[in-house]
Structure 1
């Protein structure tokens, strides 16, 4: 079977339909078809695709502006959070220093109270010892005086005469008052 070029096969079709048709002759028909098709497509797609692309461009720009504003808000919040963190750390350091100073003060106060209490107990013990020593000394003096008076009373009636006893009584009364 012989090979027939495509233009030869299409020629009978063109002759059979006398009106608008597709010319398959590459050199003659395609240039005219392209010259018509490209401006029509350009005009049609310019409005259709241009509108779609314009709306898409606006949507992308809005998304970008939204993302930029969210980024700036997030950056501002991050800076605020960093500042608050720094302030919280400084407050924690201050509280720690104050707590340590208060603990030192409480410890020193407790030591001072302990020392004062020990001194007070020592003073009380010394006062009790001194009081007990005075009491014992007074008892000894009283006991010695009682014994001396008892001995003197035993010896006195025989040692003093009636005149001397009277003189002694008068001198004692004068000395009293």
Structure 2
């Protein structure tokens, strides 16, 4: 009775004949390849492994350097931001001082203009007062000169002249 595992008449089954299946040939070829290529492939694989390790070490070094550079850049950024904030606050303080100074100068200029106007007004008032006094004195003199000769006689004129002379001597 044939075993069901074997293919007896063109069916599907398992062939255990080592020579027909070339299993021995495959084992020999693989063994020879392993024997001869062990050094060659081992060297290639070892060089590849060393290259990969070197690349990893280089990458780790670059990562450490990049981390250090990043930390330094962040410190520089923080310092720059602090400096910018200080400059901004100094600028605001300076602008406020300039604004206050401008206000004070404007107030002082307005006070000076007011003082000048007041001085001009006082000077003009004094000039007008003096002019009015002169005109009043001239008008009084003209009036006296026109009325006096008709009112004063010779004795009155002598008394007026004597009184004027005595006033001049007392002064």
Alpha-carbon spacing, 1:44–1:165, altered in 2? closer, same or farther (3 Å): same
Distance 1:96 1:141 in 2: 66
1:148 aligns with 2:157: no
**What's the CA shift for 1:42?**
4.3
1:83 aligns with 2:78: no
Alpha-carbon spacing, 1:159–1:97, altered in 2? closer, same or farther (3 Å): farther
**What's the CA shift for 1:148?**
2.5
TM-score normalised over the length of structure 1: 0.70
1:97 aligns with 2:92: no
Q: Where in structure 2 are the equivalents of 1:3-22 lying within 5 Å? A: none
Which structure 1 residue ranges, 5 or more long, are not aligned? 8-22
TM-score normalised over the length of structure 2: 0.72
**What's the CA shift for 1:155?**
4.9
**Bigger Cα displacement from structure 2, 139-148 vs 40-49:** 40-49
Alpha-carbon spacing, 1:123–1:53, altered in 2? closer, same or farther (3 Å): same
Equivalent residue number for residue 13 of structure 1: none
Distance 2:85 2:110 in 1: 37
Equivalent residue number for residue 170 of structure 2: 175
Distance 1:160 1:86 in 2: 111
Distance 1:76 1:128 in 2: 76
**What's the CA shift for 1:24?**
3.0
Alpha-carbon spacing, 1:160–1:71, altered in 2? closer, same or farther (3 Å): farther
Among 105, 123, 136, the alignment partner of 1:113 is 105
Equivalent residue number for residue 49 of structure 2: 57
Give the number of aligned pairs.
155
**SS in structure 1 at match of 2:44:** helix
Q: CA RMSD in A?
A: 3.4
Which structure 2 residue ranges, 5 or more long, are not aligned? 1-7, 10-14
Q: Deviations over 1:85-123 (max 9, x none)?
A: 212221221121122112111111111111111111111
